[in-house]
Amino acid sequence: MDSTVLDDAFARQDTITQLIATVRRFGWDIPGGQDLVVSHANGYDYTRTGMPDIAWDDQDAQYGLISAFVTDALALLAVEDPKTLDGKAADAYALLAVVAVVDGALEQFRKPAGGAAGFRHPGFQRGFAGCLHRAGE
């Protein structure tokens, strides 16, 4: 078996694990964050333990899950004003922004082993650009 296929599979699982963890941290560290996660992050049940139940050998299922996580992250970033945050809350906001952008961008441009087009999240660039604009106002 080609090791590139395994590397991509492990990288994608790492992406999923990081996105879940940073959404959870946002919920724990942002004042009122748990309520925000419940009301704005509807792509996954973040109270659930363990890895998501998907067919891990199905790239479309993996991309769909990552797309749902990025959508949730962007929704959370959009409803919270980062200028009102400090300490752990500010760190949680920044971490979610970085993980959503870095992991989302990596997945956006990664080519699956079969050569098909990689992950494309329709609101990825527009959503994060709005978060950066709000943070820099």
**Which pLDDT tens digit goes with each residue over 35-81?**
999 999 999 999 998 888 888 778 788 888 888 888 899 999 999 99
**CB 16 within 8 Å of CB 24:** no
The pLDDT confidence band at residue 89, using thresholds 50, 70 and 90, is very high
**CB 106 within 8 Å of CB 1:** no
- Give the torsion through C-alpha atoms of 82, 85, 87, 89, to 10 deg: -80
pLDDT of residue 111: 47
Greater pLDDT, 12 or 108: 12
**Residue linked to tokens 């994608």:** 12
Greater pLDDT, 91 or 61: 91
pLDDT tens digits, residue range 1-31? 444 444 455 566 778 888 999 999 999 999 9
Query: What are the sequence ranges of the domains in the chain?
Result: 3-136
CA 103/CA 66 separation, integer angstroms: 9
